Amino acid sequence: MSQDVALMTLTEVARAIAAKQVSSHEVTRALLHRIAQWQPHLNAFMAIESEAALKAADAADAELAKGKVRGPLHGVPLAHKDMYYDAGHVATCGSLIRRDFVPKVTSTALQRLKDAGQVRLGTLHLAEFAYGPTGHNAHYGAVRNPWNVAHITGGSSSGSGSAVAARLTYAALGSDTGGSIRFPAHFCGVTGLKTTVGRVSRAGAMPLSQSLDTVGPLARTAEDCALVLALTAGLDPEDATASHEPVAEYVAATKGSLKGLKIGVPTSYYVDDLDAEVARVLDETIAVLKREGADIVKVELPDQRQLSAACQLVLAVEAAAFHKRWLIERPQDYGAQTLMRLQNGLAIPAVTYLEAMRWRGPALAAHSAATAGVDAVIAPASPVPAPTIAESDVGAGPGAGALLQRLTLFTRTINYLGLPSLTVPSGFTKGGLPIGMQLIGRSFDEATLLTIGAAFQRATDYHARVPKLPS
C-alpha cells in the first residue's frame, strides 16, 4: 500500500487487514519499527513484546488465509494502559508495589478486544496507580509529549496518549477517574472518550475510586473511539456496576450531521481565566461547529467549583480506602506525591465523604435541568496547554496542590456527575503544542458526542497531523 500503514487510523487498518490489502505481520512490524525509533524519546511503553506480537500476527494471518475472522480487529496490533489485567502477564500499575504482579484474570474490556482479534504489542506507561494528572512517575520516569519532548503528556493515561499521538498504537484503553483520558487527549492531540459510569465494565481493571472510575479509549479519531466503545460496552456478570442501558450504534453515529444539534457554551467557569491560546482555540472550534450546522447557545451551569471540590473528596477517600493496607505496610514504596494524596484521603471524616456522595443525585439533576435544551456542552479540557516536565515536577512540595488543581479544573466536575465526555484535537499553540476541547453529554449518550466529534474532524485536520521524530 502507498500509505505508511503505521499512519492509518484504527478503522482504516482493520479494514485493510480484513481485505488482505496488508498483512497483520506487516502492520505489526511497521509499528514495532516506529516504537524502536520513538520509545527512547518518549518512554511511552512499560513493556514491548516484539517477538510475541509478531508470532500472534503470523497466527492471525494464517487464520485469515483459512477464512477464519475473529472479529472487527482481526490482526490489529494494540497496546493498552498497564492497569488492565491480562492473565499470565505482569501488570505493574505504574508502581513498585505491583512491579511483579501477575494477575490470574483478564479484564473484561481487554478480553473483548482480544475476542475481536487484536494482537498484543505490550503495555503502556501510566502514573503510579493511575493517580496523577501530569504524566510523571517517581519509579519509571516521566512520559514525554511527542510534539515536544520537554513537555508533559498529561496523566494518568500518559503512555496511552503519547503512543497514540506518535502512531505507535492505533488505539489504547485508558481510564478516567478525574480526567485521566481527557488530559492526555488534550495535551497530546488525540481523541479521548470518557464514558458514562457503568457504560464499560471495570472488572479486571485496577481500581482507584469505586464510584468514579471509567474505562474508555484514546485513539486517532472519533470513529476509532466509536469502534472501541462498540466492542467493549455492555453488561458484564463480573461487574455489578456495569449498566443494563442498551449499547447504541456508535460507529453509525459517527456518520451523522451537526444539523439540528444544539451545543451549549458555558457562561462562566469553563471560560474564565483561560490561557490566551486555549481561549482562541475555543472560539475557533465554536465557529467550525456553527459553520457545520450546529446551533450554538449559551448555558448557565450550576456552581462547578462545588462539584470539583466534591469530586476531590470522593476520589481521595475511595483511593485511600483501596490503598489502606499498603499505606500501613509499604509507605516507602510509594512516590512522594502519590503517598501525600493517599494519606490526605485518610484524614477526611466519614461524614464529609457521605455528604459529598449524597449530593451527587441533586447535583446531576440540577445539571440536567440547566442543560435540558442542548445536546452537548463544549468546554476546554484544561485551561492551559501542556506545561514542561521540569516546571510541573513538583512532587509533594508546597506547589503540588495548586498545580494539580489548575490542571484538573475542568474535568473532575464531569467525573463527579458520572457523565460522558469526548475530547477532540481542536488546534495548536503558536509553539506547536496541541489543544483539545471536550464535549460533555447526557448520561449514556456517547453516540451524540461521537456524532459531533466526527463531524468536527471531517471539517478539520488537527487529528490527522503527525509529530516529527526528535533529532
Please list the active-site residues: 81, 156, 180
Which residues does residue 142 pair with via DSSP β-bridges, in sequence order?
A: none
Query: CB under 8 Å to 62, separation ≥6 — which residues?
Result: none
Q: Which of 38, 205, 46 is nearest to 141 (CA)?
A: 46
Determine the Cα–Cα distance for residues 251 and 394; give it in Å rounded to an integer: 41
Show Cβ contacts of residue 325 under 8 Å, excluding neighbours closer than 6 positions. Answer: none
Residues 6+ apart with CB under 8 A from 447: 248, 249, 250, 253
Under DSSP, the state recorded for 462 is G
User: How far from 172 is each of 9, 407, 419, CA to CA, in Å?
Assistant: 12, 22, 21
Q: What's the N-to-C CA distance of the chain in angstroms?
A: 27
Q: Is the bond preceding 156 in cis, omega lying within 30 degrees of 0? A: yes
Q: Which of 109, 236, 199 is nearest to 442 (CA)?
A: 199
Question: Cα–Cα distance between 342 and 348 in angstroms, integer?
Answer: 11
Q: How far apart (Å, rounded) are the C-alpha atoms in residues 209 and 322?
A: 8
Pairing of strands 171-175, 191-194: unpaired
d(CA 400, CA 408): 12
What string of DSSP letters covers 110-148?
HHHHHHTTPEEEEEE--SGGG--SS---TTT---EETTE
Estimate the crossing angle of helix 24-42 against helix 10-18, to 10 degrees: 150
Closest CA to 8 of 464, 471, 470: 464
Spatial distance between the Cα atoms of 259 and 375, rounded to a whole number of angstroms: 12
Residue 298 CA to residue 375 CA, distance in Å, equals: 12
Residue 61: alpha-carbon gap to chain centroid: 30
Closest CA to 393 of 331, 337, 316, 342: 337
